[in-house]
Chains A and B, each alone.
Chain A
Amino acid sequence: SQQGEEDPQALSIQEGENATMNCSYKTSINNLQWYRQNSGRGLVHLILIRSNEREKHSGRLRVTLDTSKKSSSLLITASRAADTASYFCATDLPPGGYQKVTFGTGTKLQVIP
């Protein structure tokens, strides 16, 4: 079973527009991460946000975390065709030993040139 669920499942935008995707999860977490996966490839880490952080930026990426709502959002600004990929959130459980990492169902983003 998967801990997270991304929304929307699929998103199609024009190059230059912003893309926003959301992740909801079920249990308390330690950290939340976002990953990108290009077709036929492995996942690539984008950004990590800790449970005590509310917002984080990295280049054109902005991540927010609302632990009271158990949700996170990933914003990609000024999108490019190369951003076309699937995006997944990943969560781990609070500290207390080994932390299992589980992924959401993903958002498939298409950026049209």
Chain B
Amino acid sequence: GAGVSQSPRYKVAKRGQDVALRCDPISGHVSLFWYQQALGQGPEFLTYFQNEAQLDKSGLPSDRFFAERPEGSVSTLKIQRTQQEDSAVYLCASSLTGTGGISYNSPLHFGNGTRLTVT
């Protein structure tokens, strides 16, 4: 299928380790979002890309979090010096339009997420 693909599906990291999470959006989708979802909670916004431009990174919890989308397609979320509070599911979503995540006919398409556990 041509859905949003995230890898790895599961990641266990020791505290202090760096991790990189990958998102392959649907081909041609302009907008890309990263969300963090704690157990039993709703997705919390982290950052937004329109093509290669990172238009909003206001949700990144600290400067240990860094996201990029250098060619306007694949995106990587990097977390440096992981802490236990970083344990969560990290969701990536893409949408067709470039005017934001929600347009009149452009919903978000989500991947299945990466579950990060920091021990």
Q: Please, what's the 1-or-0 string for A86-108, where 1 marks a CB less than 8 Å from any CB in chain B?
A: 00101010010111111111100
Complex: A33 Cα to B91 Cα, angstroms:
17
- Known interface pairs A42-B112, A43-B93. Does A105 touch B41 (Cβ–Cβ under 8 Å)? yes
B30 shortest CB reach to chain A, Å: 11
Q: Are the C-beta atoms of B102 and A88 separated by less than 8 Å?
A: no
Q: Are the C-beta atoms of A45 and B109 separated by less than 8 Å?
A: yes
Chain B interfacial residues counted at CB < 8 A: 28
Q: Are the C-beta atoms of A92 and B101 separated by less than 8 Å?
A: yes
Q: Does B110 contact A (CB under 8 A)?
A: yes
- Could you list 26 examples of A-B contacts with CB < 8 Å? A33-B102, A41-B112, A42-B4, A42-B93, A42-B110, A43-B93, A44-B110, A48-B104, A88-B42, A90-B102, A90-B108, A92-B100, A92-B101, A98-B48, A98-B50, A98-B56, A99-B99, A99-B100, A99-B102, A100-B100, A100-B101, A103-B35, A103-B42, A103-B44, A104-B42, A105-B41
